[in-house]
A and B are shown apart, each in its own frame.
Chain A
Amino acid sequence: MGMTMIEKILARSAGLDEVRAGQTVVSEVDMTVLIDLQFATGWVQPLRIADPAKVAVIMDHAVPAPTLHDAEAGPRARKFARDYGIDRFYDVGRHGICHQVIAENGLARPGEVLACTDSHTCAGGAYNTAARGLGPAEVYSILCTGRTWFTVAPTIRYELVATLPDFVSGKDIFLHIAGKHGDATNRNLEFGGPGLASVPMHDRRTIATQCAEISADFATFGVDEVCRGFLDAHTDRPYTPADADEDARYEDIREIDLSTLEPYVARPGTVSHNAIPVSQLEHRTVDQCFIGSCANGQLEDLRIAADILRGREVAPGVRLLVTPASQKVYRDAVRLGYVEALADAGAVVTNSTCGACFGYHMGVVAAGEVCLTASTRNFKGRMGSPDAEIYMASPATVAASAIAGHVVDPRKEIA
């Protein structure tokens, strides 16, 4: 019997010819990523680790340190990297949100297993990697032993057909899926089909990242020409993609006709069965607009926002925050003039960090405020007060809405 992409990767990592849904396997992990939070709370430096060449340390969630508690993570991380000779150490200045840094340094590779504490590690699925969040204790264990266990969940396949329309992005594909099908708890998701060619890499990563919000285990894309183009620019080591077999077993196969999609917005609380076309929420006034996070702080997201905002102004009474996903994105956005266009329009462009996305620093919202965000989560209290409302949409929708002062379909604002 055939295997899905994720089954193939897990079988390979466990040294088995075949795995099936329901089976528990012990996998060798190809890349283990530690983030600053790991060093902030409960860190004890290990006496030995499995392989320093398979470890990366990325400072991302709270940098530069907003509190003393976070500041103390820095020296511990630096000592660990120094003592173990970790070459892949992305300290402040080379930093960025870990999933972005993983992508731009080619750490998520086809057919391999990547582990990181953070729940959005599934982002690496955009590059055909079995990547998922595993929590601090488990990642610490993998750091020491080099392996961990997975129970293979059933796989649902999304078959993409036709072409994505202009101003409709990966965020909208995700919101459509979440709104229509709800959560995928204890399921793997797989994306493929002829329509995939019209979905650029940054949009694939948005989708893979956001599968955490529907509680999926792994979210994996196939390797096509578009993906190869990205990988050629980001890794020089050979890799072996995991393609799904023709006779792979799926729990369900769902077709999405990309040409029928439009901009969507998730209402506050959850994305599951809670996303609607933007046109149904127009004129909801907003206080804060945010473009950033591992899902939508990519260079292309900033370009989209800059193109919409260039020569225009953020509406009075609205704050627009833009957080590049990494220092590299920040530098590229400066060179390409995106930062200038955004700042001239009245946006606050911040340092790269998780910051506002998890209501930690730079952009916390107050009770009674309405926030429209292009980040990952619209949970109650996620970005500050539990009495703030958080709506979630694409960077284009957020940028257009910041100009309008209320939620608006970007296709109207641009026309």
Chain B
Amino acid sequence: MEIEGRVWVVGDSVTTDAMYPGYAMKLPLPEAARHVFYDLRPGWTDEVREGDVVVAGRNFGLGSSRPVASLFLELGVRALLADEFNSLFLRNCINFGLPALTVPGVRGIFADGDTARVDFVEGWCENVTTRAKIQAEPLPDFVRDILAAGGLLPKLAREGYVPR
């Protein structure tokens, strides 16, 4: 499971309210996705492209259980990397089928526009632009299974719990 993508870097303790503000919860997903980072990085949703990667600092995703991952997927974001994730946010990403990997120090080796290469099975990421590389913990097998299925819902559909 290796991917490569253009990087956007955000800071520490970026909250779910900064990614999925309360008022956006009244909107259908494609419209709600236009409001990710609405105050933190106004206009970002016009610049992000299919295949991009978001890199964050500590305590990424502090806050609520809003399905922020669906918005990132809607925008074409392919993976999230962070020095550290809020555990609810991390689970939410995986469960909605968005690969997310904890890589301590990752924020320090990337700047906006760099290219990241990430291997979720081996648990490393590399800045293709600068050649800086960090080895972290790989994703556990059961997490890779969820991601391979495209998230928990498709997995449950395969197991006969949900209509296909």
A residues neighboring B (CB under 8 Å): 24, 37, 41-42, 44, 46-48, 67, 69-70, 117-119, 132-138, 140-141, 144-145, 149, 151, 153, 183, 185-186, 212-213, 215, 217, 270, 272, 358-360, 377, 379-382, 386
Contacts and interface: CB of A to CB of B under 8 A. Distances in A.
Interface stretch (B55-63, B112-120, B126-134): B55-63
Interface hub of B15, B18, B70 (most chain A Cβ within 10 A): B15
A358 B64 contact: yes
Given A144-B156, A183-B13, A380-B18, A119 B140 contact: no
- Among B17, B25, B65, max chain A CB count under 10 A is at B65
A119 B64 contact: yes
Interface string B58-90: 110011110100100000000000001111100
A37 B32 CA distance: 15
Contacts of A183: 13, 59, 62
B22 A144 contact: no
Chain B interface bracket (under 10, 10 to 19, 20 to 34, 35 or more): 35 or more
A91 B130 CA distance: 56
Interface in B77-106: 84-88, 91-92, 95-96
A359 B162 CA distance: 33
B117 to A, nearest CB: 26
Contacts of B39: 380-381, 386
B121 to A, nearest CB: 17
With a 10 A CB-CB cut-off, give which of A42, A185, A359, A386 has the most chain B CB atoms.
Answer: A185
B88 A133 contact: yes
A140 B22 CA distance: 22
Given A133-B65, A134-B88, 17 more contacts: A37-B25, A42-B70, A44-B163, A47-B162, A138-B92, A138-B95, A140-B152, A140-B156, A144-B161, A153-B87, A185-B58, A186-B85, A186-B87, A359-B23, A360-B25, A381-B38, A386-B38
Nearest to A117: B65
B44 to A, nearest CB: 14
Contact of B163 (A47, A70, A382): A47
5 contacts: A119-B64, A133-B88, A145-B161, A149-B142, A215-B62
Contact of B153 (A24, A140, A153): A140
A207 to B, nearest CB: 18
Interface in B18-38: 18, 21-23, 25-29, 38
A47 B96 CA distance: 20
A121 to B, nearest CB: 9
A196 B122 CA distance: 46
B156 A141 contact: yes
A42 B154 CA distance: 13
Contacts of B38: 381, 386
Contact of B86 (A42, A141, A151, A185): A185
B17 A382 contact: yes
B149 to A, nearest CB: 11
7 closest cross-chain pairs (CB), A and B: A137-B95, A135-B92, A359-B22, A144-B161, A386-B39, A137-B152, A379-B17
B65 A134 contact: yes
Contacts of A381: 17-18, 21-22, 38-39
Nearest to B86: A215
A70 B161 CA distance: 25
A361 to B, nearest CB: 9
A213 B62 CA distance: 7
A353 B19 CA distance: 23
A379 B63 contact: yes
B59 A118 contact: no
Contacts of A359: 21-23
B160 A47 contact: yes
B151 interface: yes
Contact of B152 (A138, A185, A213): A138
Contacts of A132: 88
A272 B43 CA distance: 28
A186 B87 CA distance: 6
A138 B23 contact: no
Nearest to A382: B17
B145 to A, nearest CB: 11
B22 A135 contact: no
